[in-house]
Amino acid sequence: MTPQDQEAMWRNRFIAMNLLRIGATVGVLASLVLWQSDIFVEGGSIVGFPLALIFLVVSFWGPKWLARRWREPPTP
């Protein structure tokens, strides 16, 4: 692997980790809006609360999972 390829790989991994965090944060906010407001469903929906918790867990532990996955050598 050339240095340019390796640099591109690490840049892409950094971008992927940050997009995961940003996406999960947007998911938390959208879930809270679903739960507490009338924007998506009249009177709100209880489904928004568990979704918000799931997205919150993903926003914290998703990047750690990706880093651990990338650290292990691939299986043949």
> Residue 28's pLDDT is what?
97
Distance, in Å, from the CA atom of 71 to the CA atom of 10, rounded to the nearest integer, reads 12
Looking at the domain assignment, is residue 21 inside a domain? no
Handedness of CA 62, 67, 71, 75 (dihedral sign): positive
Q: How far is the CA of 4 from the CAs of 16, 17, 73, in angstroms? A: 18, 20, 21
- Cα–Cα distance, 59 to 53 (Å, whole number): 10
18 lies in some domain: no
pLDDT band at residue 56 under the 50/70/90 scheme:
very high
Whether the Cβ atoms of residue 29 and residue 57 lie closer than 8 Å to each other:
no
What whole-number percentage of the chain has pLDDT above 90?
68
pLDDT on residue 74: 66
Q: Is residue 12 part of a domain?
A: no
Q: Is 55 within a domain? A: yes
- The residue segments making up the domain with residue 35 are 29-69
Q: How confident is the model at residue 3 (pLDDT cuts 50, 70, 90)?
A: confident
The total number of structural domains in the chain stands at 1
**pLDDT of 14-37, one tens digit each?**
999 999 999 999 999 999 999 999
